[in-house]
C-alpha cells in the first residue's frame, strides 16, 4: 500500500520556500563579487597603464619643454650676439663713413689747391686792342694793376708800373698796349720826352697796331708841348699819310691846319 503522506505544517512549508528563494540571491551575490573584483583589477591595470603613459608623456613633455627652453635660450644668446655684432658693424660703418668723408674733404682741398696753382700758372687767352694772345695769370694781373692806377689818375705810379711790366715781360702780348698807356701816363705826368720815346717804340715796333695812329697823334702833342712845332707837323703828316682813314688822322688834319 502506498505510504500515506504525512501532513506538513504550513510554517515548515513557508520556511522551505523562503530558503529556496534566498539561495539564488546568495549565489548571485557571490558570483557578482568575483566579476567586480576582476573588473576592478582590470580597471586598475588600465589606470596604471594610462598613468604610465601619462607619466611618460609628461616626462617627454617636460623634456620637450626643457629642450624648448634651451633652444629659446640659445636663440636669445644668438640674437644678443647678433645685436652686438650689428652694433659693432654699425660703429665700424660710421667710422668708415667719417674716414671716407674726411678723405673726400682732403681730396677736394688738394684738388682745389691744384686747380688754384694751375690757374696761377696756366696761360690765359687774352684779346686786347685787336690782338689775341696768351698770357700767364701773373702777367695779366700786373697789367691790370697798372691800368687800375691809370684809371685812378695815379699817373706817375702807373708809368712806373708799365715800365716795370715791360722789363718783366719783354715778349708779352701786352707790350704794344703797355707802350701806348705808358706814353699816356708819362704825358699826363708832363714827362713829354719820355712819352715821345714810349710812343715812338710802339710806332716803330708795331706799325700796324690798332693804337699806333693814336700814339702818333700823342707824339705830336708831346712835341707841341716841347715847342718842337716842326717835328710835330712832320709827325702829323706821317700820321695822315700812314693811316688816312683813322680817327687819329682826322684829328691830325685839324691840328695841322692850326699849326700852319
Q: pTM of the entire structure? A: 0.58
Instruction: Give the total residue count for the chain.
Output: 260
Residue showing cell 504550513: 10
pLDDT higher at 245 or 39: 245
Phi, psi of 127 (to 5 degrees): -125, 120
What's the pLDDT at 27?
47
- CA distances to 51, 52, 57, 80 from 65, rounded to whole Å, are 20, 19, 12, 22
Q: Which fold has domain 124-259?
A: 1.25.40
Q: What is the mean pLDDT of the chain?
A: 86
Are the C-beta atoms of 219 and 251 separated by less than 8 Å? no
Task: Read off the pLDDT of residues 199-228 as tens digits, 9 standing for 90 and up.
Answer: 999 999 999 999 999 999 999 999 999 999
Q: What is the largest CA-CA distance in the chain?
A: 222
Of 147, 144, 148, 178, give the one whose Cα is nearest residue 163: 178
Q: How many CB atoms lie within 10 A of CB 128?
A: 16
Q: DSSP string covering 98-119, please?
A: HHHHHHHHHHHHHHHHHHHHHH
Of 206, 242, 230, 200, give the one whose Cα is nearest residue 218: 200
DSSP bridge partners of 125: 134
> Would you list the domain boundaries of the chain?
17-120, 124-259
Q: DSSP string covering 27-86, please?
A: HHHHHHHHHHHHHHHHHHHHHHHHHHHHHHHHHHHHHHHHHHHHHHHHHHHHHHHHHHHH
* CB-neighbour burial class of residue 231 (10 A; exposed 0-12, middle 13-18, buried 19+): middle
Least confident of 23-37, 55-69, 128-142: 23-37
Task: Read off the pLDDT of residues 178-187 as tens digits, 9 standing for 90 and up.
Answer: 999 999 999 9
Taking the C-alpha atoms of residue 252 and residue 214, their distance in angstroms, rounded to an integer, is 10
Task: Read off the pLDDT of residues 109-164 as tens digits, 9 standing for 90 and up.
Answer: 887 776 666 666 799 999 999 999 999 999 999 999 999 999 999 999 999 999 99
Amino acid at each position: 500500500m502506498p505510504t500515506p503522506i504525512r501532513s506538513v505544517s504550513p510554517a515548515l512549508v513557508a520556511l522551505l520556500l523562503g530558503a529556496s528563494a534566498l539561495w539564488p540571491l546568495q549565489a548571485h551575490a557571490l558570483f557578482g563579487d568575483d566579476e567586480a573584483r576582476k573588473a576592478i583589477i582590470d580597471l586598475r591595470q588600465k589606470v596604471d597603464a594610462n598613468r604610465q603613459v601619462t607619466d611618460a608623456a609628461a616626462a617627454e613633455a617636460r623634456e620637450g619643454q626643457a629642450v624648448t627652453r634651451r633652444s629659446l635660450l640659445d636663440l636669445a644668446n644668438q640674437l644678443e650676439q647678433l645685436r652686438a655684432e650689428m652694433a659693432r658693424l654699425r660703429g665700424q660703418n660710421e667710422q668708415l663713413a667719417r674716414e671716407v668723408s674726411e678723405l673726400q674733404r682732403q681730396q677736394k682741398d688738394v684738388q682745389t689747391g691744384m686747380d688754384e696753382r694751375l690757374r696761377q700758372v696756366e696761360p690765359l687767352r687774352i684779346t686786347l686792342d685787336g690782338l689775341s694772345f696768351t698770357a700767364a695769370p701773373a702777367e695779366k694781373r700786373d697789367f691790370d694793376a697798372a691800368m687800375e692806377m691809370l684809371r685812378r689818375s695815379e699817373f706817375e705810379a702807373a708809368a712806373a708800373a708799365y715800365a716795370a711790366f715791360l722789363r718783366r715781360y719783354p715778349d708779352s702780348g701786352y707790350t704794344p698796349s703797355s707802350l701806348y698807356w705808358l706814353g699816356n701816363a708819362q704825358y699826363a705826368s708832363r714827362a713829354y720826352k719820355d712819352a715821345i720815346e714810349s710812343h715812338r717804340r710802339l710806332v716803330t715796333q708795331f706799325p700796324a697796331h690798332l693804337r699806333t695812329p693814336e700814339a702818333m697823334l700823342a707824339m705830336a702833342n708831346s712835341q707841341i708841348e716841347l715847342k718842337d712845332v716842326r717835328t710835330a707837323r712832320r709827325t702829323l703828316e706821317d700820321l695822315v699819310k700812314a693811316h688816312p682813314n683813322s680817327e687819329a688822322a682826322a684829328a691830325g688834319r685839324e691840328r695841322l691846319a692850326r699849326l700852319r
